[in-house]
């Protein structure tokens, strides 16, 4: 592999507290402090003047649908969408068909990753057998098979006793638990946030309390067992406050927010467009502002996409019957920049930290840094370039995005994985 020389970029590496215009050198797939004169002559040169160079983005919450749901997405298409969004490391959820609750299914996923992935992919395993919430999955065997966390994402474990035992086993095997916080008894038939908008639209409402109760449960169980419990796609202002108080007491809980919950509210559902239907649902402006405040003060640790592809014939139904979920990988960076950089006025290094070093650190992934000797995973982007997102020109197998046809600001120009350019702003190799 030829050496790589990235010139004149604004290099932002939160792990090293670096933010300065400079060069990045890559040799043998790894970051190098410098290149020899001979290597420089032979190196592939990328002029990154006016662009930001940062560690490849890290997303700990994606759905790649393989095995069993490959009409929606595959490891191949999902990782290409990730690369187009600047992501070089992703963690995929286990709600496949069959669910990833056995070492055999994890091995199937690992084989597909080895064969088809263009970015680094790490699997998670189920908390319970087949995600039914009735009996614990073989957590130790899943760990040996290579999972980096356990979760029943999409089907929150309703039994507090079973979740307690899962916390104890997860602690034994040094695995974090990722939890989709939803009390099912409060959301039967619900399709959007409960409030003024749901009443006006005549749609069954989904109260914040359904999330708040499970977040509170998880805080108690983390206090009781010492387990690391990570709350996925937090959307409720009350949940943010519960987590804020728990963290002040040193409880081992973390949380993520998605770009769509940071950017959108339930007011967007006025046209009954199923591309705005998701789980948890879009909340109110008050909830959205609470998420932004939670990001600012560190209550919410990271940004993650919850990339959830569905085919057009699945989404193109009456709102009540359409599945939850939207695409997220190719739009995550510009949407997040729009909210956190331009609206909330956070500094760019802080935003990049939320999407690189911090998620890698939480889940002990070898990513999120441009340190000498690290795997050369790099994202080059122009934070000021405006462009119109077209799902039909994207790399995902599906097209269910609320940002289709909208102008976004901030565009990934080059994605490099282990020293190899996998996306050049237009195409994949």
Digit-coded pLDDT (tens) for 271-315:
999 999 999 999 999 999 999 999 999 999 999 999 999 999 999
Which pLDDT band, with edges at 50, 70 and 90, does 429 fall under? low
Residues of the chain with pLDDT > 70, as a percent, come to 100
CATH superfamily entry for domain 56-362: Metal-dependent hydrolases (3.20.20.140)
Q: Count of residues for the chain?
A: 429
Phi, psi of 257 (to 5 degrees): -125, 150
Helix/strand/coil for 37: helix
The dihedral of CA 247, 235, 382, 327: what is its sign?
positive
Contact 61, 363 (CB under 8 A): no
Whether 306 is a known active-site residue: answer yes
Residue-wise pLDDT for 100-115, tens only, equals: 999 999 999 999 999 9
Residue corresponding to tokens 């120009």:
413
pLDDT reading at 428 higher than 80: no
CA pair distance 262, 405, nearest whole angstrom = 19
The residue annotated as part of the active site, out of 179, 306, 353, 377, is 306
Partners of 22 in the beta sheet?
A: 9
Is 41 exposed, middle or buried, given 0-12, 13-18 or 19+ CB atoms closer than 10 A?
A: exposed
Residue 2's pLDDT band (cuts 50, 70, 90): confident
Strand, helix or coil for residue 210: helix
What is the distance between the alpha carbons of residues 219 and 255, in angstroms, rounded to a whole number?
11
Whether the pLDDT of residue 155 is over 90: the answer is yes
Which residue matches tokens 């919850």? 306
Mean pLDDT of 170-192: 97
pLDDT for the residue 154 = 87
Six token digits for residue 320? 């009540």
């Amino acid at each position: 592999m030829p050496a790589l020389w990235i010139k004149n970029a604004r290099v932002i590496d939160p792990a090293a507290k670096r933010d300065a215009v400079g060069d990045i050198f890559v040799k043998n797939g790894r970051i190098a402090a410098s290149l020899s004169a001979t290597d420089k002559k032979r190196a592939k040169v990328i002029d990154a003047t006016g662009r930001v160079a940062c560690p490849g983005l890290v997303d700990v919450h994606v759905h790649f649908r393989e095995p069993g749901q490959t009409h929606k997405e595959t490891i191949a298409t999902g990782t290409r969408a990730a690369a187009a969004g600047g992501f070089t490391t992703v963690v995929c959820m286990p709600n496949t068909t069959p669910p990833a609750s056995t070492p055999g299914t994890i091995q199937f996923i690992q084989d597909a990753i080895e064969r088809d992935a263009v970015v680094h992919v790490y699997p998670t395993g189920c908390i319970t057998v087949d995600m039914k919430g009735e009996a614990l999955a073989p957590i130790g065997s899943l760990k040996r098979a290579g999972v980096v966390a356990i979760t029943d994402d999409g089907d929150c474990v309703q039994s507090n006793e079973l979740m307690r035992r899962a916390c104890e086993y997860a602690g034994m095997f040094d695995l974090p638990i990722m939890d989709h916080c939803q009390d099912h008894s409060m959301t039967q038939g619900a399709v959007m946030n409960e409030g003024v908008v749901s009443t006006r639209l005549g749609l069954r409402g989904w109260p914040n309390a359904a999330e708040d109760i499970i977040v509170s449960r998880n805080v108690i169980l983390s206090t009781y067992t010492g387990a690391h419990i990570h709350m996925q796609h937090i959307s409720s202002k009350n949940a943010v406050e519960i987590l804020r108080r728990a963290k002040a007491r040193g409880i081992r809980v973390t949380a993520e927010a998605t770009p769509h919950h940071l950017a959108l509210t339930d007011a967007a559902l006025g046209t009954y467009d199923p591309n705005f239907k998701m789980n948890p649902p879009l909340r109110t402006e008050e909830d959205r502002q609470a998420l932004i405040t939670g990001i600012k003060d560190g209550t919410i640790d990271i940004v993650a996409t919850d990339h959830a592809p569905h085919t057009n014939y699945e989404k193109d139904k009456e709102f009540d019957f359409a599945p939850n979920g939207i695409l997220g990988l190719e739009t995550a960076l510009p949407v997040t920049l729009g909210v956190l950089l331009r609206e909330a006025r956070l500094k760019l290094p802080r935003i990049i930290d939320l999407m690189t070093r911090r998620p890698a650190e939480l889940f002990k992934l070898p990513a999120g840094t441009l340190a000498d000797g690290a795997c050369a995973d790099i994202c080059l982007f122009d934070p000021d370039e405006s462009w119109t997102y077209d799902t039909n020109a994207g790399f995902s197998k599906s097209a269910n995005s609320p940002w289709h046809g909208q102008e976004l600001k901030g565009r990934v120009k080059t994605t490099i994985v282990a020293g190899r350019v996998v996306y050049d702003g237009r195409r994949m190799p």
